[in-house]
Chains A and B, each alone.
Chain A
Amino acid sequence: MIRVAVQAGAFDAGKELASLAESGAGGIASFTGVVRGEGGLVELFLEHHPALTEAVLRDMVEAAVARWDLSAATVIHRVGALAPGEPIVLVATAARHRGAALDACAALIDRLKTEAPFWKRERFDDGRTGWVEPREADEAAAARWR
């Protein structure tokens, strides 16, 4: 069971995990990304490529399901304006054993950060705005799973 969603609204992580538990897995791993309010950040705006995003995420999830023999996986990514403390992304994976669930979850968020077509623009309390630059550490993290 695969669930991929790109949405402006909030998600209910508890409900999503409960739904994964129904897949009959022995373990569920999850990662929730949250907007950091560092340096006077007041808003993080998430832009994406509407025609590409869901297909890219679905390909990624399907590859993880096949590689780690997952019984279910969910990826939800929010778009639009988000405030510090708000959840941006949920990755959750269900498998027979914890190793597969944890590895698949880590691999999915690492790949998502470097391959899914989302772009972040920051706005600070002094009026400055700027697009977030990609980080080399993220690329190195994603490379671990290739």
Chain B
Amino acid sequence: MTTLRILYFAWVRERVGHDAETVEPPLEVIDVSRLVTWLASRSAGHAEAFAEPHRLRAAIDGRFVSLEASLEGAREVSLFPPVTGG
């Protein structure tokens, strides 16, 4: 069983209801996309946050990645909306 730290930002954080959690996803959760689908089942807030996966962006251990990115070796996954700084 792999332990993953998940960080949430902006409206993803607000909908999930907290800014971070530690999870142990099942073995078939091999990429970010499957992680998002699995996380969506954790609560109504998670389901709302992850209802539109195309509106999500991700980073693994400090690097931006696509939702297809593998979770192999990952320790920390960040999930957030498209950025709006500047």
Q: Which residues of A contact B (CB under 8 A)?
A: 33, 46-49, 51-52, 55-56, 77, 88-89, 109, 112-121, 131-134, 138
Contact status B86-A117, CB under 8 Å: no
Find the A residue at minimum CB distance from B78.
A49
Within 8 A of A (CB), among B30-86: 59, 62, 64, 78, 80-86
Using a Cβ cutoff of 8 Å, how many contacts connect chains A and B?
Answer: 66
A-B contact pairs, 14 of them (CB 8 A): A46-B85, A47-B9, A51-B62, A55-B62, A77-B85, A88-B86, A89-B86, A115-B64, A116-B86, A117-B80, A119-B10, A119-B11, A119-B84, A120-B85
Distance of A31 from chain B, by nearest CB (Å): 9
Q: Which of A55, A56, A119, A134 has the most CB of B within 10 A?
A: A119
Instruction: Tell me which residues across on chain A come within 8 A of B62, comparing CB atoms.
Output: 51-52, 55
Chain B residues packing against A (C-beta within 8 Å): 7, 9-11, 59, 62, 64, 78, 80-86
Residue of A nearest to B19 (CB): A47
Q: By the criterion CB–CB under 8 Å, are B84 and A132 in contact?
A: yes
Contacts of A52 in B (CB 8 A): 59, 62, 64, 78
